[in-house]
């Protein structure tokens, strides 16, 4: 478990069951305000116990756990932005469907560049080819409308 001071507030970060948990003890959103490092470690230990027991609720009004998932973020935040500000929003819409299928159930913290490389592998097996496609060919096949 990591506790450090960022500016005037203490923040915590730890991994529990392969999921990164983090936050700030700043007195907002129901969090307490830690005055010292020892107090911050105690608060972080309490949060870790609550996470293990399943009683720590991360949902907030307007910014719940549903927005932490990749698919809901793409639909509610990125796609409206793309339609308003980009000329290629139709391509983003198509690309988003492919990415949402592959990253279903994952949060932003769980999406890493290695998963994008892994998303290319099903394209090789789906076509019946016995050898691997070149990466540039996979990108063209996977993202073409």
Match 């690309």 to its residue by tokens: 95
Q: Is the pLDDT confidence value at 61 over 60? A: no
Whether the per-residue pLDDT at 110 is higher than 80: the answer is no
Give, for 52, the enclosing helix (H) or strand (E).
Answer: helix 37-53
pTM beyond 0.85: the answer is no
pLDDT at 139 over 80: no
DSSP letter assigned to residue 67: G
Cβ(59)–Cβ(65) below 8 Å: yes
Question: What does the alpha-carbon distance between residue 61 and residue 81 come to, in Å, rounded to a whole number?
Answer: 21
pLDDT of residue 107: 76
CA distance 5 to 40: 9
DSSP 132: P
Write the pLDDT tens digit of every residue in 63-104.
445 556 778 888 888 899 999 998 888 888 888 888 888 777
């Amino acid at each position: 478990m990591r506790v450090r001071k960022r500016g005037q507030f203490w923040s915590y970060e730890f991994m529990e069951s392969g999921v990164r948990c983090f936050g700030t003890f700043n007195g907002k959103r129901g969090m307490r305000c830690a005055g010292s490092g020892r107090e911050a470690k105690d608060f972080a230990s309490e949060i870790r116990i609550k996470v293990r027991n399943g009683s720590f609720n991360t949902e907030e009004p307007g910014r719940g756990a549903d927005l932490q998932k990749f698919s809901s973020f793409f639909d509610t935040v990125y796609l409206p932005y793309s339609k308003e500000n980009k000329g290629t929003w139709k391509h983003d819409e198509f690309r988003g469907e492919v990415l949402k299928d592959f990253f279903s159930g994952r949060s932003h913290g769980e999406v890493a560049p290695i998963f994008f490389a892994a998303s290319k592998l099903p394209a090789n097996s789906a076509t019946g080819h016995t050898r691997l496609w070149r990466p540039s060919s996979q990108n063209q096949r996977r993202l073409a409308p």
